[in-house]
A = this chain, B = another copy of it.
Amino acid sequence: MMDYTQGKNKLENWIVSEMEFSPDSLGKCEAIMSLGNGYMGLRSITEEPYINETRNMFVSGTFNKAFENEATELPNLADITRMDIRVDGERFSLELGKINSYMRQLNLKTAELTRSFDWVSPLGKELRFVFKRFVSLHDLHLIGMKMEVECLTAPVEFSFESGIDAQRDNSGSQHFLEGDRRIFDRQFIQLVQTTNESEIDVVINTAHKITVNGQPIEYEPKMKMNRRKVWQSYEFKLQPNDKLEVEKLTTLYTSRDKEVDNGSYSLAELREQSLQALKKSVKEGYDLLFNAHQKEWDEKVWNVYNFEIGSEDGFDQLAMRFSLYHLTCMTPAHDDRMGIAAKGLSGEGYKGHSFWDTELFILPFFIYSNPEIARSLLIYRYRGLVGARKKAMENGYEGAMYPWEMAWPSDGEVTPEWGDIDIVTGTQTKIWPGFIEQHISADIAFAVYQYDNVTNDPEFLKDYGYEIVFDTARFWASRLEWNDEKKEYHINGVIGPDEYKEHIDNNAFTNYMAYFNMKLAIRYYEKLEKENPELLEKLKGLLQLERAFADWNLKVEAIYLPAPRKEDLVIAQDDTYLHLKEIDLSKYKNQDRVRTIYDDYNSEQINAIQVSKQADTLILLYLLEQTFLHDDPRIAGNVKRANFRYYEPKTLHDSSLSLTTHAIVASDIGDRDLAYSLFKKSTEIDLGPKMNTSDMGIHAASIGGIWKTAVFGFAGIRLADRTLKVNPALPDHWTHLKFAIQWQGQTVTFSITPSNLSVTVSGGKTLAFENGGNLYTCEESIDIPIAAASSASH
């Protein structure tokens, strides 16, 4: 039902389309066509309501804990999209009557949602509808909507009710106190809502602007008010060929906006300002406002990332644009107190919390493509040290133990405690990651390292980065457990990336990453000793670094790092995995939904089977290959290959984080067909034919992974400390790949064909990079022929 072949013109591969209305899978379009600007996100629910819709709007950072026994989350705001439309007194719904020429489209280039169709009412009257909508990138507080209705046959009575409805909640949890509602000048509707715990005021203003046949009309709608609702009611008599246009313009401000979140905030002022902003927007009107928005998308997004994929299948180009579109919508680039949510701002799933998804799956895009935004996202983690220290203290550790799920920086751990049903006991399953999935702290340290190496931003390290790396290393040093028998440090009772294994000892990924984190801290310490002893002194005082440094050196090389088995080079995911029972997993692979194994087994039983939710050992092999471990024979090509062959069949990819890592590793080991097919599968997590996968929101990490697979997988871009490696291995279906990265202050453009790598540098400095084992330097541009063999493996 989804189609991506639209617009065989300049909009080719820019349009995500729905060709047929499907009321049974509304969640799909609501999420993948969702609109956003990083400040706010709006699910693309239809104006008229349907039973299985999920009417969501979120503003970044407005976290609230509705009830004492719930986790803090992004509250679902009052709805401004719903319009209750009646035609000749009967409810308008696409489930009733007859639909012709249906089309719903998200134009990725202009970030506009449109919906158009001719509708024959059950009484036989025909109307042409066009709906348009955008969430402005130019004015982060603005939402524009437009409805065009043309009467095609007989006269009709057309009426609608529209306003602001704050009877919304998050799956039954209400975050807001009922606030003031008012209609100014019989036109400008204002509703205030305040979160019940974090006390954030949200002020929403909306107004309608009506024309008939292009002429503005004077119309005094009825005014209505109810609990948590305020709206207006309009009635028109349309003659054949009459065209009614309704613009609905909305402004939205909160007391958490950084412009007002200071001592002098006044709700009265915010109400007045936001109302004036609306009045100004209403004067301009939808079209002018939309133009400014569209221009901003060109300037801030498409002209910056300009990512070309030449593929036999245009869908690949579309998928990349889809990725860049949502990476823009989901990211609160405007405010470094906020992070990226696991579902972006497109659904309730994961409550708007930030996971390691950001650092390992999304941040790389920004580090390489828009370092300023990457910096902002890392400052969010720096601010989160407050919460991370709180968590460490609560758990009896030192330093900074980052929360598995992070919301407002000072919150600390916010992972909910209880989840889905346990099919054996009939009770809720305990959610353990908030307690024992600990690699997140090292993942964040890794992100600092990666940001620093790619961007060369010493100010960042000085102001934020060192402190993160040192304090997470302090956590690990306190976390290690001495095994007196083996004379090693172990990390026991954890969950690794593969969450189908709980309470395991020595998860390879966790142990290696802890090792990496402490080694990095030692290296940074020694670097500061030489380069900036003054700063080191300051940090010593703050973080008891002298003792910590001694501790790191004492412990780091005694951390147990599981080596590849001699017989087959397989690295044990943890102490027990390789000894667990193996079962036939085919039933659970490629299901229409994930986690189907839970229909047959509970957590305890899954723990006892060689089955993985997602990449675990493989992500280790991909990730640390980029680091100072890159020469370690333990992770050489053969090891990658052996582990891929061992773990891939056991991995259900029940996490959307999994496929893109497997795709990159498949590309690394030279299996280009498999790599491409895994890439395809990863794009289908949101854009594919399984219609319910995106119900709770888009998959932010998987969307970041689309870019990662293209750049780190097919273009073969890697970081070996401060050296850039470029070893392309295009899929057979691709004719070329072109994109730019930001490398240490310069823009580097890569243009890759199956036989040629062309590198262009702007910025005046010489670029050094490695390709096929050779080191090249480039002043302006260079072309390197690609040997068939060299692209097969690296």
Interface residues of A (CB under 8 A from B): 23-24, 49-52, 66-70, 90-91, 93, 95-96, 166-174, 177-178, 180-186, 196, 222-230, 420-421, 423, 426-428, 599
Question: Is A225 in contact with B67, judged by CB distance below 8 angstroms?
Answer: no
Tell me how far the C-beta of A426 lies from the nearest C-beta in chain B, rounded to whole angstroms.
4
Question: Is A169 in contact with B168, judged by CB distance below 8 angstroms?
Answer: no
CA distance A183 to B222 in the complex (A): 49
Question: Within 8 Å CB of A50, what residues of B?
Answer: 51
Partner of A421, one of B49, B171, B225: B225
Chain multiplicity (copies): 2
Question: Within 8 Å CB of A168, what residues of B?
Answer: 172
CA distance A178 to B223 in the complex (A): 36
Question: Within 8 Å CB of A230, what residues of B?
Answer: 421
Question: Is B51 in contact with A181, judged by CB distance below 8 angstroms?
Answer: no
Q: Known contacts A91-B23, A225-B421; is A67 also within 8 Å of B178 by CB? A: yes
CA distance A202 to B184 in the complex (A): 43
Question: Is A421 in contact with B183, judged by CB distance below 8 angstroms?
Answer: yes
CA distance A163 to B224 in the complex (A): 35
Tell me how far the C-beta of A281 lies from the nearest C-beta in chain B, rounded to whole angstroms.
19
Tell me how far the C-beta of A278 lies from the nearest C-beta in chain B, rounded to whole angstroms.
14
Kindly name the residue among A23, A177, A227 whose own CB sees the greatest number of chain B CB atoms within 10 A: A227
Q: Can you spell out 5 A-B residue pairs with CB atoms less than 8 angstroms apart?
A: A51-B93, A169-B169, A172-B228, A174-B174, A184-B426
Tell me how far the C-beta of A199 lies from the nearest C-beta in chain B, rounded to whole angstroms.
12
CA distance A70 to B227 in the complex (A): 10
Partner of A167, one of B95, B171, B185: B171
- With A225-B420, A226-B420 given, can you name 19 additional A-B contacts, CB distance below 8 Å? A49-B51, A51-B91, A67-B196, A69-B178, A70-B177, A95-B95, A167-B172, A169-B169, A171-B228, A171-B229, A172-B174, A173-B174, A173-B178, A173-B227, A173-B228, A182-B426, A182-B427, A223-B423, A230-B421
Question: Is A169 in contact with B174, judged by CB distance below 8 angstroms?
Answer: yes
Question: Within 8 Å CB of A227, what residues of B?
Answer: 170-173
Question: Is A421 in contact with B177, judged by CB distance below 8 angstroms?
Answer: no
Question: Within 8 Å CB of A90, what residues of B?
Answer: 24
Determine the residue in chain B with the shortest Cβ distance to A50: B51
Question: Within 8 Å CB of A51, what residues of B?
Answer: 49-51, 91, 93
Question: Within 8 Å CB of A186, what residues of B?
Answer: 426
Question: Is B223 in contact with A426, judged by CB distance below 8 angstroms?
Answer: yes
Tell me how far the C-beta of A28 lies from the nearest C-beta in chain B, rounded to whole angstroms.
16
Tell me how far the C-beta of A262 lies from the nearest C-beta in chain B, rounded to whole angstroms.
26
Question: Is A223 in contact with B421, judged by CB distance below 8 angstroms?
Answer: yes
Q: Known contacts A182-B427, A420-B225; is A69 also within 8 Å of B172 by CB? A: no
CA distance A648 to B91 in the complex (A): 38
Question: Within 8 Å CB of A182, what residues of B?
Answer: 426-428
Partner of A95, one of B69, B96, B174, B428: B96
Determine the residue in chain B with the shortest Cβ distance to A426: B183
Determine the residue in chain B with the shortest Cβ distance to A78: B172
Tell me how far the C-beta of A175 lies from the nearest C-beta in chain B, rounded to whole angstroms.
9
CA distance A177 to B67 in the complex (A): 6
Question: Within 8 Å CB of A226, what residues of B?
Answer: 171, 420
Determine the residue in chain B with the shortest Cβ distance to A23: B91
Question: Within 8 Å CB of A183, what residues of B?
Answer: 421, 426
Tell me how far the C-beta of A26 lies from the nearest C-beta in chain B, rounded to whole angstroms.
11
Question: Is B599 in contact with A181, judged by CB distance below 8 angstroms?
Answer: no
Tell me how far the C-beta of A456 lies from the nearest C-beta in chain B, rounded to whole angstroms.
45
Partner of A68, one of B93, B96, B172, B177: B177
Determine the residue in chain B with the shortest Cβ distance to A53: B51
Question: Within 8 Å CB of A181, what residues of B?
Answer: 421, 428
CA distance A395 to B401 in the complex (A): 56
Tell me how far the C-beta of A53 lies from the nearest C-beta in chain B, rounded to whole angstroms.
10
Question: Within 8 Å CB of A426, what residues of B?
Answer: 182-186, 223
Tell me how far the C-beta of A373 lies from the nearest C-beta in chain B, rounded to whole angstroms.
32
Determine the residue in chain B with the shortest Cβ distance to A89: B24
Determine the residue in chain B with the shortest Cβ distance to A224: B421
Tell me how far the C-beta of A428 lies from the nearest C-beta in chain B, rounded to whole angstroms.
6
Question: Within 8 Å CB of A420, what residues of B?
Answer: 225-226
Tell me how far the C-beta of A197 lies from the nearest C-beta in chain B, rounded to whole angstroms.
11
CA distance A67 to B51 in the complex (A): 28
Partner of A70, one of B91, B169, B178: B178
Tell me how far the C-beta of A415 lies from the nearest C-beta in chain B, rounded to whole angstroms.
15
Tell me how far the C-beta of A292 lies from the nearest C-beta in chain B, rounded to whole angstroms.
30
CA distance A427 to B50 in the complex (A): 31
Tell me how far the C-beta of A746 lies from the nearest C-beta in chain B, rounded to whole angstroms.
48
Question: Within 8 Å CB of A171, what residues of B?
Answer: 167, 226-229
Question: Is A91 in contact with B172, judged by CB distance below 8 angstroms?
Answer: no
Question: Within 8 Å CB of A196, what residues of B?
Answer: 67
Determine the residue in chain B with the shortest Cβ distance to A69: B177
Question: Is B169 in contact with A91, judged by CB distance below 8 angstroms?
Answer: no
Question: Within 8 Å CB of A178, what residues of B?
Answer: 67, 69-70, 172-173
CA distance A410 to B226 in the complex (A): 28
CA distance A70 to B223 in the complex (A): 23
CA distance A333 to B386 in the complex (A): 57
Question: Within 8 Å CB of A172, what residues of B?
Answer: 166-169, 174, 178, 227-228
Partner of A225, one of B174, B229, B428: B428
Determine the residue in chain B with the shortest Cβ distance to A190: B426
CA distance A401 to B437 in the complex (A): 60
Tell me how far the C-beta of A434 lies from the nearest C-beta in chain B, rounded to whole angstroms.
17
Question: Within 8 Å CB of A69, what residues of B?
Answer: 177-178
Question: Is B91 in contact with A24, judged by CB distance below 8 angstroms?
Answer: yes
Question: Within 8 Å CB of A224, what residues of B?
Answer: 421
Kindly name the residue among A52, A169, A222 whose own CB sees the greatest number of chain B CB atoms within 10 A: A169
Determine the residue in chain B with the shortest Cβ distance to A166: B172
Tell me how far the C-beta of A782 lies from the nearest C-beta in chain B, rounded to whole angstroms.
56
Question: Within 8 Å CB of A222, what residues of B?
Answer: 599
Question: Within 8 Å CB of A173, what residues of B?
Answer: 174, 178, 227-228
Question: Within 8 Å CB of A229, what residues of B?
Answer: 171
